[in-house]
């Protein structure tokens, strides 16, 4: 059996120039599908709050929820690396808390690495986690857990603000992160970060020059249904939402009409 992808997959890709791919998953069935398509890593994102739990943001996601879903994804993943996201306040308060919570995602959730949001402000946490043998995927740019201080979900790193992002990127690299997610920044800023760093950049809304790309699977499959918000940077790869709705609708009408279940879906006392 081939070894699972891991931190070395990321460092080798940065050296060879091969693009990295990541897709989110939150449960066993989708993790199996994502894994079977050859993706490098699966992220159990705290976007769970939005796309699974129906919340307006990620602020209320808990460690228990992240562990529960990470474990399910790990069970369904044979080849891809599994990364568990650290929810709001699981790492910001203190370094010991951060290490203990990150460790829970590996021990109880069976993740191979954790992701956390922030740059210079979480350098100490990243350093301590890496010292405790916990690989860290950093996340800079638009960091949804800071929605209340950013005053909304806005493009980051425009113009002179690019310097702030560069400081963040160099800080997380220096602290030992094995890669960094760069969310919602202009192409030029992402390009400069990617050139400056020796660790891979994984873009989401950060243009084509990052070392890899990540998308939330509900967005790329249009699972939100009619009228749901799809960010500008998301390409719709399939309209799975419509396919599911049509299948559910067919079930409802066939049950009402008596067409389902037809004889081939029924048991009999004696086979005919």
Provide CB contacts within 8 A for 209, sequence distance 6+: 187, 190, 191, 194, 203
Q: Which of 18, 78, 163, 183 is catalytic?
A: 183
Which of 72, 74, 80, 214 contacts ligand KIV by CB under 6 A? 214
Contact 10, 178 (CB under 8 A): yes
Nearer to ligand KIV, 20 or 160 (CB): 20
Q: Smallest distance from the beta carbon of 223 to ligand KIV, in angstroms? A: 14
Whether omega for the bond prior to residue 232 falls within 30 degrees of 0, making it cis, is no
One character per residue 174-193, x = contact with ligand KIV (rule: CB under 6 A): -------x------------
Phi, psi angle pair for 123, to nearest 5°: -55, -45
Residue 163 annotated as catalytic: no
Of the residues 99, 216, 221, 223, which one makes contact with ligand KIV according to CB under 6 A: 216
The residues near 253 (Cβ < 8 Å, ≥ 6 apart) are 259
64: part of which helix (H) or strand (E)? helix 63-75
Interaction between residue 211 and ligand KIV (CB under 6 A): no
Closest contact distance (angstroms) between CB of 130 and ligand KIV is: 20
Rounded to whole angstroms, the Cα distance separating 96 from 135 reads: 16
The site string for ligand KIV over 19-58 (x = CB under 6 A, - otherwise) reads: -----x------------------x-xxx-----------
CB 153 within 8 A of CB 184: yes
Residues 139-158 interacting with ligand KIV (rule: CB under 6 A) = 139
Of the pair 35, 85, the CB lying nearest ligand KIV is at 85
Concatenating the DSSP letter of every residue in 142-210 gives S-GGGHHHHTSS-----GGGHHHHHHHHHHHHHHT-SEEEEES--HHHHHHHHHH-SSPEEEESS-TTS
Task: Find the shortest distance in angstroms from Cβ 15 to ligand KIV.
Answer: 23
Please say which residue, 150 or 259, places its beta carbon nearer to ligand KIV: 150
What amino acid positions are annotated as catalytic residues?
A: 183
Q: Where on the chain is the footprint of ligand KIV (CB under 6 A)? A: 24, 43, 45-47, 85, 139, 181, 204, 214, 216
């Amino acid at each position: 059996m081939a070894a699972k992808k891991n931190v070395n997959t990321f460092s080798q890709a940065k050296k060879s120039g091969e693009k990295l791919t990541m897709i989110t998953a939150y449960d066993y069935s989708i993790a199996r599908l994502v894994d079977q398509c050859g993706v490098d890593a699966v992220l159990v994102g705290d976007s769970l709050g939005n796309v699974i739990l129906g919340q307006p943001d990620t602020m209320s996601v808990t460690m228990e929820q992240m562990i529960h879903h990470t474990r399910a994804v790990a069970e369904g993943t044979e080849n891809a690396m599994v990364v568990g996201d650290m929810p709001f306040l699981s790492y910001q308060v203190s370094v010991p808390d951060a290490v203990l919570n990150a460790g829970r995602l590996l021990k109880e959730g069976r993740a191979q690495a954790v992701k956390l949001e922030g740059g210079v402000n979480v350098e100490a946490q990243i350093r301590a986690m890496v010292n405790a043998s916990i690989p860290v995927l950093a996340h800079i740019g638009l960091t949804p857990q800071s929605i209340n201080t950013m005053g909304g979900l806005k493009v980051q790193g425009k113009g002179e603000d690019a310097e702030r992002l560069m400081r963040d990127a160099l800080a997380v690299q220096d602290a030992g992160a094995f890669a960094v997610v760069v969310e919602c920044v202009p192409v030029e800023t992402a390009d400069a970060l990617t050139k400056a760093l020796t660790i891979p950049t994984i873009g989401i809304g950060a243009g084509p020059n990052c070392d890899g790309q990540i998308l939330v699977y509900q967005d790329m499959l249009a699972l939100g249904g009619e009228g749901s918000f799809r960010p500008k940077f998301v390409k719709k790869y399939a309209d799975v939402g419509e396919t599911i709705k049509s299948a559910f609708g067919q079930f409802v009408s066939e049950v009402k009409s008596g067409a389902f279940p037809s004889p081939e879906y029924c048991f009999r006392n004696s086979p005919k």
